[in-house]
A = this chain, B = another copy of it.
Amino acid sequence: MEIFSYETLKNLSYQVFLKMGCPTEHAELAAEALVAADLRGIDSHGVARLSGYVRLWEAGRINARPHIQIVHETPSTATLDGDAGLGLVIASKAIEIAVEKARIAGTGWVAVRNSNHFGIAGYHTLKAVKNDMIGIAMTNASPLVAPTFAVERMLGTNPIAVAIPALHQPPFVADFATTTAANGKLEILQRKNQEAPLGWIQDKKGQPSSNPHELKHGGALLPLGSDREHGSHKGYCLGAIVDIFSAVFSGANYGPWAPPFVSFLPLPSDPVGLGLGHFLGAMRIDAFRPAEEFKANMDKWINRFRATKPADGYDKVLIPGDPEREMETERLENGIPVVESVVTDLRDLAERMGIEKIVTI
């Protein structure tokens, strides 16, 4: 484990995106979106993925200089073609369009096709919050999840994020995979060679498994709820809704056709759309109620939920977004710890691309 400053990791990412040929503005947007994951403690989606993006670019699957354009629109909606660019950039543009639509129509909704992985969903929603709007973001992803009763991997971990502004309180920010456990949590167990709790994964026959390497042997992640008796059909519904909103609305690849993040896996030979899909939304809070009134009530909501009586052994009940925000404060001050394998990967990447070596704090 080595510790780097936020600026160091963001600058490294910026330099890498520039070397890929991204325009300056895109490299800035992408670097900020990527390292927001490290900052908020979702280490699986931050610089740990930087070399993965580079490999996708080397494989010709990411276009560093995309012509991102609206291909269809109404007063409150737009469909955006990302021209196979970085999802980090395309989603940043998409939420801006949603915010602009919302200014005039009250709400704005942007379906995105022909994109790639967009980093953490929550990051994009916060741009709406800055404009006194509720932000919504979701994306489909490489198929790793079996529907209830099934053994085939049909859906991605398909996250949903919703961010809601308050007055004196920090915003409510929910950001979660629609599976019982996100893939990043499995990766941690894989590295430590520890067992996974039952309910996270199944083997290739659909039996419960605690082997974190099960996906390499034909196993699958389970939808939120784990099994039918505990509501996995609801997690399957959620993952399916994200898939349809992100990819069927926009004309991207859906379900098992969603392109893999890793460049060594082939693309499906019979695509049903273009690239990966996202769905982003912005709702002006004063489209429903005066903004100050809404935000004062959000403060009251948050204060009341913070005051919920905790169960024995717990000192408090959390508001969605608390852990990530606390992590952000801590890491901005004390730096971001990066595991050795990722540090090596980043140093190799920097050397290979002719970028200055990163140094720890």
Query: From residue A314, how far is it (CB to closest CB) to chain B in Å?
Result: 4
Tell me the bound Cα distance from A254 to B303 in angstroms: 13
Shortest beta-carbon contacts, A-B, top 6? A206-B311, A74-B106, A174-B237, A77-B106, A149-B314, A76-B76
Measured as residues with beta carbon below 8 angstroms from the partner, the interface class of chain A is: 35 or more
Within A74-120, which residues are at the interface with B (CB < 8 Å)?
A: 74-77, 79, 104-107, 109, 111
Which A residues have a C-beta under 8 Å from some C-beta of B? Answer: 72-77, 79, 104-107, 109, 111, 146-152, 154, 162, 164, 172, 174, 176-181, 197, 199-200, 202, 205-206, 224-226, 229-231, 233-238, 240-241, 243-244, 248-251, 254-256, 272-273, 283-285, 287-289, 293-294, 297-298, 300-301, 304-305, 308-312, 314, 316-318, 320
Residue of B nearest to A323 (CB): B233
Contact assessment for B152 and A79 in the assembled complex, using a CB-CB cutoff below 8 Å: no
Contact assessment for B75 and A75 in the assembled complex, using a CB-CB cutoff below 8 Å: yes
On chain B, the residues within 8 Å of A164 by CB distance are 244, 248
Tell me the bound Cα distance from A272 to B288 in angstroms: 17
Contact assessment for B237 and A149 in the assembled complex, using a CB-CB cutoff below 8 Å: no
Tell me the bound Cα distance from A314 to B336 in angstroms: 47
Number of copies: 2
Residue of B nearest to A154 (CB): B308
Given contact pairs A79-B289, A234-B224, A149 touches B310 in the complex (Cβ within 8 A):
yes
Query: From residue A184, how far is it (CB to closest CB) to chain B in Å?
Result: 13
On chain B, the residues within 8 Å of A241 by CB distance are 162, 174
- Can you list 21 A-B contacts (CB < 8 A)? A74-B284, A76-B107, A77-B106, A77-B284, A79-B288, A79-B289, A111-B289, A146-B311, A147-B308, A150-B310, A150-B311, A150-B314, A172-B244, A177-B234, A180-B225, A200-B230, A225-B231, A233-B318, A244-B298, A249-B289, A255-B301
8 Å CB contact of A107 from B109, B224, B294, B297: B109
Contact assessment for A230 and B150 in the assembled complex, using a CB-CB cutoff below 8 Å: no
Query: From residue A287, how far is it (CB to closest CB) to chain B in Å?
Result: 4
